[in-house]
Amino acid sequence: MKLLGYFFITSAFLCNAYAGGSDKLESDFFDGPEVNIQISHAFGKEESSETFRPRGTVDIRSFKGPKFTAEQPDLSLQDLDLLKEVASEDGYYFVKFSTKGPSGVKSFRTFIPAKALLDSGLSDVLMVHLNPASDIYAISYSVARNDYFTAPHVLGNNRPPPTHFNTTVIVHYGEIGPVPDTAPYLEKLEQERISKERGDDTRDNRSFLAKYWMYILPVVILVLLSGASNPEEGGGR
Distance between CA 80 and CA 90 in Å, rounded?
Answer: 15
Distances (CA, A) of 132 to 29, 82, 174, 175: 11, 40, 6, 5
Answer yes or no: is 212 within a domain.
yes
Regarding whether 214 and 164 lie in a shared domain, the answer is: no
User: Are 96 and 203 found together in one domain?
Assistant: no
The answer to whether position 235 is within a domain reads no
234 domain-assigned: no
Residue 236 resides in a domain? no
Do 108 and 137 form a contact (C-beta atoms < 8 A)?
no
Q: How far apart are CA 45 and CA 87, in angstroms?
A: 10
The pLDDT value recorded for residue 189 is: 82
Asked whether residue 76 falls in the same domain as residue 138, the answer is yes
Do 153 and 58 reside in the same domain of the chain?
Answer: yes
- Burial (CB count <10 Å: 0-12, 13-18, 19+), residue 158: exposed
pLDDT value, residue 94: 95
Confidence (pTM) = 0.59
pLDDT for the residue numbered 217? 87
Residue 79 sits in the same domain as residue 132: yes
Cα angle 111, 115, 116; round to 5: 65
36: containing domain: 2-175
77 and 161 part of one domain:
yes
pLDDT in tens, the chain (237 residues): 433 333 333 343 333 332 333 333 333 344 455 788 999 999 988 777 668 999 999 887 754 455 677 788 898 889 999 999 999 999 999 999 999 877 788 999 999 999 999 888 898 988 888 887 778 889 999 998 777 766 655 555 566 778 888 888 888 877 666 777 777 778 888 888 887 777 665 566 677 777 788 888 888 888 888 876 665 555 554
In contact, 79 and 73? CB cutoff 8 Å: no
Q: Could you tell me if 110 and 203 lie in one domain? A: no
Determine the residue type at 68.
Answer: F
Residue 237, in any domain of the structure:
no
Same domain, 98 and 153: yes
How many domains does the chain divide into? 2
Same-domain status, 78 and 43? yes
